[in-house]
Structure 1
Amino acid sequence: MSERRRAAAERLGEAEDIVRVVDESLRELGVALPSLRVDPVSCVMADPQPLIELGRCNLATARRLVEVLEGCRP
């Protein structure tokens, strides 16, 4: 495997790990983002820079997310 492909695979693996951690952390706070994932389009370039897609959610989930974020303010 070339160095470029290895680096791309590492970035993708890191992105997948981050998605898992974000999902677990939010779920512990009562927020589940159903469309949370690595954006596949951002991974198909020659030098991929994976983006995390937070996705779509219903109003109840958005409200819960706001509650959690407001609770984190200093």
Structure 2
Amino acid sequence: MVKTPESQDVDAFTAMEYLRAALDRAGIVLPSLGVDPASPRLGLVELGRVRADVALRLAHALRRGDPAA
């Protein structure tokens, strides 16, 4: 199991860029990916809306990384 940092220890902009890079390697673009400016203390990353085919590609990419898939 990979240990992940606590939510208050993660910079939202850094997390967003890591996610964008990982999605890019999987050939997936989330056009609305960004940091939620309305809640800076919460460090929320906005994933936005995507077309159904993109959601399906994302699900497949996640399942490939899941040992139980």
Same fold (TM over 0.5): yes
Amino acid at match of 1:22: L
Alpha-carbon separation, structure 2, partners of 1:64 and 1:30: 9
Counterpart AA for 2:56: R
Instruction: Select the residue among 9, 25, 30 that pairs with 1:28.
Output: 25
Where does structure 2 lack aligned partners over 5 or more consecutive residues?
Answer: 1-7
Structure 1 segments (4+ residues) deviating >4 Å:
none
Larger Rg: 1
* Pair 1:72 & 2:65 matched: yes
Structure 1's unaligned 5+ residue stretches are 1-10
Letter in structure 2 aligned against 1:17: T
| Number of aligned residue pairs | 59
Output the TM-score relative to the length of structure 1.
0.70
The CA deviation at 1:30 is 1.1
TM-score (norm 2): 0.75
1:41 is matched with 38
Q: CA RMSD in A?
A: 1.7
Q: Following the alignment from structure 2 to structure 1, what is the Cα–Cα distance between the partners of residues 37 and 29? A: 20
Calculate percent identity across the aligned residue pairs: 36
